[in-house]
Each structure stands twice: as structure tokens, then as C-alpha cells.
Amino acid sequence: MRHHVDYALARRAVLRDLRTGKRDRLDVCDAQPELLRAARNIGEPLDADCPVCGSAGLVLVSFVYGDSLRRVNGRCVDGDELAKLDATYQEFSRYVVEVCPDCHWNHLQRHELHGRRHAG
């Protein structure tokens, strides 16, 4: 199992605050244009509906960061590219963001450590 941090509790708190009126929908449905573009083009479909608008288009988008990644640092990657990076680099981080392209909901789902050092 990879080293990771799961943000499910934070997600539940945000959605609870939205339902109770402590947060406005515009506060949580604020995905930037580049994130939405990545979600539409290389997002990994989820078998779940958007928790805000109910759309079936919910996806996961992965970004990688690491000092050794150089040109790849900060890029959005798909599963094939992630596997290549895992085999090539010693260590880097992957951030997985849940995105709804329809209502622009987005939330950090998890942070994982990847690379040869963390291979299972």
C-alpha cells in the first residue's frame, strides 16, 4: 500500500457546510479553467455522481510534483504516464482531485507518494 493522505473527512465537512448554508455553492464549485480542461480530456471517470449537482460526469484528475521530475513537474498525468514515472523516478507526489466538469465542483481527494522508493 502506498503512503497516502485521504481527504474524505474534509470533503464531508465541506459538503455538510454547503447543505447547512455555512458555505455558498460558488465557494465550492470554483474549478479553474485548466482543471476543467484536464477533467474533460484526461479525467478518469468515477462510478459516482457529483455530490453537488448530481451529474454522472464526476472524474479524477492526477497531478504530479517532485524535484526530480523537471519538465513533468506540475503536470496532469493519466494512468499510463504515471506507471512510467513510477518506474523512472525515485520519489514524487501525486495529488488526486475530484472534479465535476458540469458544476465545477472540485476537491482534493488524496495525496500519494510514488516512485521506486515507495513501490509496493
Q: How many CB atoms lie within 10 A of CB 103?
A: 19
Instruction: Give me the residues paired with residue 76 across strands.
Output: 63
Please state the φ and ψ torsions of residue 58, each to the nearest 5 degrees.
Answer: -65, 135
pLDDT in tens, 47-104: 999 999 999 999 999 999 999 998 999 999 999 999 999 999 999 999 999 999 999 9
Q: Which alpha helices (DSSP H) does 21-112 contain, by range?
A: 25-28, 33-42, 79-88
* Count of structural domains within the chain: 1
The residue segments making up the domain with residue 94 are: 4-118
DSSP conformational letter for 86:
H
The model's pTM is 0.91
Q: How many CB atoms lie within 10 A of CB 118?
A: 16
pLDDT in tens, 24-46: 999 999 999 999 999 999 999 99
